Amino acid sequence: MVVVGANAAGMSAASQAKRMRGDKLEVIALERGSHCSYSACGIPYWVAGDVADGEGGLVARSPEDHRAKGIDLRMLTSVEAIDVHAGKVTVRDLDSGRRYQEGFDHLVLATGAVPVRPLVPGGDAAGVFGVQTLDDGVALLVGLERLRPRRAVVIGNGYIGVEMADALARRRMAVTVVDRAPQPMSTLDPDMGELVHRAMEKVGIDVRTDATVTGFEIDGEGRVRSVVTSDGAVPADVVVLGLGVRPNTALANQAGLPLGDHGGLRTDTQMRVLGHDRLWAGGDCVEVLNLVSDQYEHIPLGTHANKHGRVIGHNIAGSYATFPGVVGTAVSKVCDLEIARTGLSERDATHAGLGYVTVSVQSGTRAAYFPGTQRLTVKMTAEGHTGRLLGVQIVGNEGSAKRIDTAATALWNHMTVEEMTTLDLAYAPPFSPVWDPILVAARQASAAVRAADR
Ligand SMILES: Cc1cc2nc3c(=O)[nH]c(=O)nc-3n(C[C@H](O)[C@H](O)[C@H](O)COP(=O)(O)OP(=O)(O)OC[C@H]3O[C@@H](n4cnc5c(N)ncnc54)[C@H](O)[C@@H]3O)c2cc1C
């Protein structure tokens, strides 16, 4: 078993297969970077100062840990080509420059994603940082310590952009977030995004929406001085790029493997590359089926990557496991505000050709009289006529976000909003009002479905 890429998907696959087959399976993992099995998800919190152990705290397993389990993990080793018919990969040892071939019975592609860069000159100037890898995180923190910047501009207001804006604001910088979208968090509906916008402004983050980056002003020493946008120039001592990612499938493409509309590898539910018995793929380099819209999407999340790896490991080890798809669940945080979504937004539902009704409710995280209760808004979307749950979005303070898991489970099980009104959810005053906010939203959504049918 040869694995390309030694992070979430790749090392989950390698570890699962090795656990199940032991010495009967030779596992080689090839990683071009200098880190393996780390949490990129923790980078914004590390930058903010929440992760006490620093860089090491984000590493779940070191190369030595994997080698001790019998995995032949080769770091600073890049795979340059795949010969599908011969069952071989061309490998380069980045230290020595030596090139060699490695044969495989099973090949796992877990090459992740590549960050989107602004298509304007100057994006590689000194003071411009990415946050895709642990090395990016190290470079950013070293830069922040050295430059002691006062003004930061974050480009991109998706979840990574808003998490980074929050992290930099907590480091006492004046932060501006620039994006061409009309509201932060475009995976939410604009009315829910507006709640995020307001919360960011409340802590002093300058949110520039509908603003396209057109260039960078660079000084004589090659250092960024401002970000030029359609809304004017924004002075910057540092710039952080949080524009999202696209699947890293150049290698797969060269080998003629099947890619979908979003550029990700296409697999069956066992995570086998379509049409190839011995090739497997998982994580940010694949497209996943959205079980609500029945459309393939690129949803690069660690939660999927780890599950893909487990499924691949099982199947290569001779067991059987599947990854049927996703319902689009994600959670994030900016300032004290928790943000969660699952299923389809209004735009997604329209795109999927579904008629829908939608309701928004304001409720509390605990009984109204209980100390510390926090406000939250739940927006629920249901299919017209059938009443099938299509999506839920939650924005609120502490205790709000993980309520999304109830909705995700309901979506997974194709429940209607009427069925959801009877869900046996836990209640005691310190945890929820007697009608949990999800139940309140389901009641109102059910009423809206009935009213629309009348
Ligand atoms: C700042 C940030 C915050 C995030 N927060 C969250 C979150 O809160 N929740 C969540 O679910 N997800 C989050 N994610 C996403 C999550 O980190 C990714 O979905 C996950 O890391 C994907 O795992 P992967 O194994 O598919 O790819 P990666 O982690 O990208 O690993 C791919 C590996 O393949 C290696 N590689 C690529 N090509 C080659 C080659 N040719 N030869 C050898 N090696 C190669 C790369 O060096 C890399 O190490 C976040 C990501 C970032 C950047």
CA of 415 to the centre of ligand 1 (A): 33
Probe ligand 1: pick from 7, 104, 304, max atoms within 8 Å of CB? Answer: 7
Residue identifier of the C-alpha nearest atom 21 of ligand 1: 302
Residue identifier of the C-alpha nearest atom 6 of ligand 1: 41
The single residue listed with the structure tokens 């020493």 is 221
Q: Ligand 1 within 6 A of 79 CB?
A: yes
Q: What is the CA radius of gyration of the chain?
A: 23
From the list 97, 75, 72, the residue with the least C-alpha distance to 17 is 72
Residue identifier of the C-alpha nearest atom 17 of ligand 1: 40
CA of 357 to the centre of ligand 1 (A): 36
From the list 336, 300, 259, 389, the residue with the least C-alpha distance to 9 is 300
Q: Ligand 1 within 6 A of 132 CB?
A: yes
Regarding pTM above 0.95, the answer is yes
Rounded-to-integer distance, Cα 26 and Cα 411, Å: 40
pLDDT at 54: 74
From the list 441, 349, 444, the residue with the least C-alpha distance to 403 is 441
Rounded-to-integer distance, Cα 309 and Cα 283, Å: 8
Low-confidence ranges of the chain (pLDDT < 50): none
41 is catalytic: yes
DSSP assignment, residue 246? Answer: E
DSSP assignment, residue 207? Answer: E
CA of 270 to the centre of ligand 1 (A): 20
CA of 300 to the centre of ligand 1 (A): 8
pLDDT at 130: 95
Other C-beta atoms within 10 Å of 224: how many? 23
Q: Ligand 1 within 6 A of 433 CB?
A: no
Q: Ligand 1 within 6 A of 2 CB?
A: no
